[in-house]
Amino acid sequence: MSTNGQEGNGNKRTEEQAAGGIGGNVSGAGPSPESEPGSVTAGRPAPPPGKLTKADFTSDQEVRWCPGCGDYAILNNVQKVMPELGIPREKIVFVSGIGCSSRFPYYMNTYGFHTIHGRAPAIATGIKASNPDLSVWVITGDGDALSIGGNHFMHAIRRNLDLNYILFNNRIYGLTKGQYSPTSEFGKKTKSTPMGVIDYPVNPLSLAIASGVLYLEHGKPMVFGKDRDKGIRMNGTLPEVIQLGSETGLNENDCLVHDSHEKDPSVAFMLARMEFPSFPQPVGIFRDVQRDTYEDLMAHQIEEAVSRQGRGQLQKLIHSGDMWVVD
């Protein structure tokens, strides 16, 4: 899965089909194209092209998360980043499954689907494959993505669709008021596990890397600490924390250098397994490797088939080859 795809040009008809023709619920009425002078979105005149702001990506829907929830921070940052991408709102689709995180499309002034449990990647696959010019974002939580949606998560990555996948991992089913999730820590006491969780948790980053993810972002690696006086180096085949400075004679040159473009995912996988308190929680770009996307390969196959055999007729296809008539 790559998040480095090129955004192209489409037309309004195909964009509306992408947002409303697959079977999900469209959040709000969808944005009006910025290219139409005087168009109005969420009660505001559309800004000139290239002049979008955070407010233009903020819908008129009331945000209904609990006070203090971390989802607010994610929403705020996504709304701030969207204008910097330079992509028109009618070219952007947010797709979600279930749970607290999956209310996200309602709060974005773009096209959006609020779908069913764990199936957001399947809907997103259909949108991207049929309209490759769209910027498609999957919003999900640890329960939605890694429980009933685990297979969809894995196969969307394996196929290398050009999707942007944001997973809110709070290690609990928040909407069901405290049911343990696939990422809940061993021994964690919840309303559904009053004596402690006895499942071992899934590591989402490790699963993504094992599924063949090509671009995985979670922050910046290798030197850490309040004063940036600690680092990670390899001790044999295992990582270890080292103290940097004059007392130890160690500096950043002694730290492990991680190349996110390295085709071998071994170091990225090792970083994904680091957990507090033994190690710092790594953040940054874990992998950034290029490969043809699923939708490009599919489009190429269709073009090649049409060039060889013509577009064909469905009725002729149905009545060709072996067939039986049941009376």
* Low-confidence residues of the chain: pLDDT under 50: 2-30, 32-43, 218-221
> Which sequence spans correspond to the domains of the chain?
51-170
**10 residue type, one letter:** G
Burial 66-85 (b: 16+ CB within 10 A, else e): eeebebeeebeebbeebbee
Pairwise CA distance, residues 257 & 277, whole Å: 22
In Å, how far are 104, 151, 261 from 19, measured between CA atoms?
Answer: 15, 24, 34
Euclidean distance between CA atoms 196 and 85, whole angstroms: 44
Residue 245: per-residue pLDDT = 78
Question: What CATH number was assigned to the domain covering residues 51-170?
Answer: 3.40.50.970
pLDDT attached to residue 35: 41
Kindly report whether the global pTM for this prediction surpasses the value 0.85: no
Name which of 101, 99, 131, 102 is nearest 21 in CA terms: 131
Q: What pLDDT score was predicted for residue 324?
A: 77
What confidence score (pLDDT) does residue 6 get?
A: 33
What is residue 39's predicted lDDT score, i.e. its pLDDT? Answer: 39
Tell me the helix, strand and coil percentages in the chain, rounded to 5. Answer: 30, 15, 50
At residue 268, the pLDDT reads 72
Rounded distance between C-alpha atoms, residue 323 and residue 319, angstroms = 7
pLDDT at 130: 93
Query: Which residue is listed with tokens 């405290």?
Result: 178
If DSSP states are collapsed to H, E and C, what string results for 64-94? CCCCCCCHHHHHHHHHHHHHHHCCCHHHEEE
Phi, psi (deg, nearest 5) at residue 209: -65, -40
3-state secondary structure of 112: strand
pLDDT of res. 43 = 44
**143 contacts: CB under 8 Å, gap ≥ 6:** 99, 172, 173, 179, 181, 182
